[in-house]
Structure 1
Amino acid sequence: MALSRKTFLRVLGGGVVVAAGAAVAVPRLDAMPAVAVEGWRGPAPDETDPRRRALAWALLAPNPHNLQSWAVDLSQPDTIVLHVDAARLLPQTDPFSRQILIGHGCFLEILAMAAAADGYRAEVRLFPDGAWALDKPVARVTFTGLPGIAVDPLFAEVPRRRTAKGKFEARALDPAHKAALLAGHAASALPLVIVDDAAEVERLRALAIAGSEMEMNTHRTHKESIDVVRIGAAEIAAHRDGISLKGPMVWALRQAGAMTPAKAMTPGTLAWNGGRDYVMAGYASARAFGWITSADNTRPTQIATGRAFVRLQLAATALGVALQPHSQTLQEYPEMAELRLAMHRQTGTAAGATLQMFFRLGYASDPGPSPRRALNGFVTV
């Protein structure tokens, strides 16, 4: 089967298989396996441990490349000790694990929300054994029963939260939604900016695209992403993590031998070109960008960034606003240094400050939940 680049993009965006020149709708072929997303139902009805009930929600947090780099120790009563899973890092694109720690902040925020919804106060003590390293915990969380504790209204949005990676609708960000997101974030010490001026959006878009191009054209950084791509329902069900490629189009491309990790690593192939074009179509559809900065880049600040970001995304979910992070131009590997500096200048990030999160905002259909591993896979003790 010979597929054109245009056809590749058409099937990549919808449930069709192209065969003998005809498009055939087969929407359930190679669909997301139910086992991969069962975690989005929350804790098991018969789960009695409040820590495990809260963890069942926390593992739905956003995180880099959907690696789910969380490891928890439940050996102490009423306590969760949170670690980074050293086998689930991004050493090429996140050499200092800044993004990984942001993902842990997202996890801790939802954990605290879930505990409160269950009648418990979750007291979070960061880096209890000193400065963070892979052999030291990120946090120790102590659960204390507290009847009547306030439930955060954003907690209701946790099972509805999504990261829309495809094209956004061709409409501007509603000014009322922009104002609500800014107002909701105002309590955070980390500045949030949302830009929807067309000229400024275009300048930011150009830098974001350049960052993605740099990552894709740097062999080791592109490979880091390709290594965690799960192609087809069987791979997704086996791993329940990473970047999922599924559906009729993926099935068709696999049958044609056009969708393999090797092809995706090779510039000029249909898989490489089509994948690039799909990512760029997302950038092209953005009508607004936002970012979160910090005065420093300490480990506690990275955790705070995650906690603030997931609250922002949950608030966006409540408003029907889609939000997708674009981390490429923020990454700290040498080849990205010039573009990272340009993005700092364009966003007005002060010298010595850190641009922690950059994302597009808009409106999109529900892409469905991302895979999650089973809770027991996160528990080390």
Structure 2
Amino acid sequence: MAMIQAATLASNPHNSQPWLFRVRETSIEMYADTTRNLGTMDPLLREMHMGLGCALENMVLTAAARGYRTEIRYFPKSSDRSYIARVDLAPGTIESSPLQQVISQRHTHRGAYDTEQALRPELLQQLHDTGLDKSERSVNLIWLTTEEAKRRTGELVISSTEAIIADAEMSHDSNRWFRGDWDDLQAHRDGLTLDAQGGAAWIRAAGKMLPNVSHDSANQFWLKSTRQTHVHTAGAYGLITVPDLKNPEDRVKAGRVWQRIHLKGTVEGLAMHPLNQPMEMRDRELHLHNLTRPFGQQLEQLTDQAGEEAIFLFRIGYPMTSVHPSPRRALEDVLI
């Protein structure tokens, strides 16, 4: 069960924890829990598949630390697209890695980053090399580090956040995962919490004792945080790309890459935070067959590489404060 426990600690969209597992004698099957999809925020299942890829990577790392060799079959049953992967296990040698050792310490850091501490190019290269394992050759990572690239990226993140807030369906589907008060948090054990927002301790404590805030207040808090904290203090941005956004296997593999990058960042004392609003708006455009595709076009300009489609954006920097873990559901809730 250690492998599944590790899988449940993986990065995932809105802390929706969209996974289910079935344990066999010599394998573990991973399924998508489609009831936990983000709706209009993720109409192409891009984020869900990436979150499942993150869980898969944690499983593989933990299996190696327990002395198992793994072989992965992606989407092994063509008639069931919710069947994401089967991990076949065989006896091997114990191979514990620094990434595996920090699985429980990896958390999304939504607070301010230290703008006085620069990211060394050689450190970014190490993150690149760790993330882009030979088994995921279809996935690429682009660092956006110049002032111009960061300005363009930040403006796109802010404008896409504003667009999500202005879209009633997207705003609703995003806000339904916010767990503001204590009873709500204990009942669900998922979603976005005050503890994970990077605010002051007294704000977090007071917030749990008060009723949930209105959607409008939550939206304005998100926009203000995006503009004044997330974008303003980003040391750099990382953009993960794939050749074909419509390929579900590439989406899962991109999740594995992101998980390794985030774990390596944890080892190095770095903070990271997904900022997928531009992709969420691009996916919305594709789903609604919006021919003008303003957000899709801006993402294409950001990648600046022919044949690459942006699948995931995150900011990176050095943290100013510690971060609190997000809740997780009990193991029995994710076993089938």
**Percent identical residues:** 27
Q: 1:302 to 1:212 in 2, by over 3 A?
A: same
2:119 aligns with one of 173, 187, 202: 173
**CA–CA distance in 1 between the matches of 2:242 and 2:111?**
29
**CA–CA distance in 1 between the matches of 2:190 and 2:224?**
23
Asked if the contact 2:109/2:272 (under 8 Å) is kept, the reply is yes
Deviation, 1:179, is 2.8
Q: Does 1:333 align with 2:298?
A: no
- Find the counterpart in structure 1 of residue 227 from structure 2: 280
Q: 1:131 to 1:289 in 2, by over 3 A?
A: farther
Q: Does 1:121 align with 2:76?
A: no
**CA–CA distance in 2 between the matches of 1:78 and 1:342?**
46
Deviation, 1:162, is 1.3
Match of 1:312, SS state, is: helix
Deviation, 1:141, is 1.7
Larger radius of gyration: 1
- CA deviations over 1:175-205 (Å, ceiling 9, x no partner): 3322322333454422211122112211111
1:374 aligns with one of 324, 327, 330: 330
Q: 1:372 to 1:199 in 2, by over 3 A?
A: same
Query: How many residue pairs are counted as aligned between the two chains?
Result: 317
**CA–CA distance in 1 between the matches of 2:219 and 2:144?**
31
**CA–CA distance in 2 between the matches of 1:143 and 1:116?**
10
Question: Aligned letter for 1:321?
Answer: L
Q: Does 1:320 align with 2:276?
A: no
Question: Aligned letter for 1:379?
Answer: L
- CA deviations over 1:303-340 (Å, ceiling 9, x no partner): 11011111111111111111111111012012783113
Asked if the contact 2:65/2:97 (under 8 Å) is kept, the reply is yes
Q: Does 1:213 align with 2:156?
A: no
**CA–CA distance in 1 between the matches of 2:223 and 2:156?**
15
- Find the counterpart in structure 1 of residue 198 from structure 2: none
**CA–CA distance in 1 between the matches of 2:16 and 2:272?**
19
**CA–CA distance in 1 between the matches of 2:58 and 2:207?**
38
1:72 aligns with one of 17, 21, 45: 21
- CA deviations over 1:28-63 (Å, ceiling 9, x no partner): xxxxxxxxxxxxxxxxxxxxxxxx121111111101
Q: Does 1:60 align with 2:60?
A: no
Q: Does 1:145 align with 2:91?
A: yes
Deviation, 1:376, is 0.7
**CA–CA distance in 2 between the matches of 1:309 and 1:256?**
35
Deviation, 1:256, is 6.9
Q: Say which is worse superposed, 181-190 or 124-133, in terms of deviation.
A: 181-190
- Find the counterpart in structure 2 of residue 34 from structure 1: none
**CA–CA distance in 2 between the matches of 1:293 and 1:312?**
14
**CA–CA distance in 1 between the matches of 2:322 and 2:210?**
29
**CA–CA distance in 2 between the matches of 1:253 and 1:58?**
30
**CA–CA distance in 2 between the matches of 1:254 and 1:187?**
41
- CA deviations over 1:89-138 (Å, ceiling 9, x no partner): 0120111111111111111111011111111122211111116524xx11
- CA deviations over 1:265-317 (Å, ceiling 9, x no partner): 23xx5x44333212322111112111111112311111110111111111111
**CA–CA distance in 1 between the matches of 2:210 and 2:68?**
53
Question: Aligned letter for 1:66?
Answer: N
**CA–CA distance in 1 between the matches of 2:260 and 2:208?**
38
**CA–CA distance in 1 between the matches of 2:210 and 2:53?**
42
**CA–CA distance in 2 between the matches of 1:225 and 1:371?**
17
Q: 1:290 to 1:252 in 2, by over 3 A?
A: same
Q: 1:81 to 1:205 in 2, by over 3 A?
A: same
Asked if the contact 2:98/2:267 (under 8 Å) is kept, the reply is no
Unaligned runs of 5+ in 2: 196-200
Give the alignment's Cα RMSD to 1 decimal: 2.1
**CA–CA distance in 1 between the matches of 2:209 and 2:99?**
43
Match of 1:138, SS state, is: strand
Unaligned runs of 5+ in 1: 1-51
Match of 2:102, SS state, is: helix
**CA–CA distance in 2 between the matches of 1:128 and 1:254?**
43
- Find the counterpart in structure 2 of residue 183 from structure 1: 129
**CA–CA distance in 1 between the matches of 2:210 and 2:189?**
25
Match of 1:92, SS state, is: helix
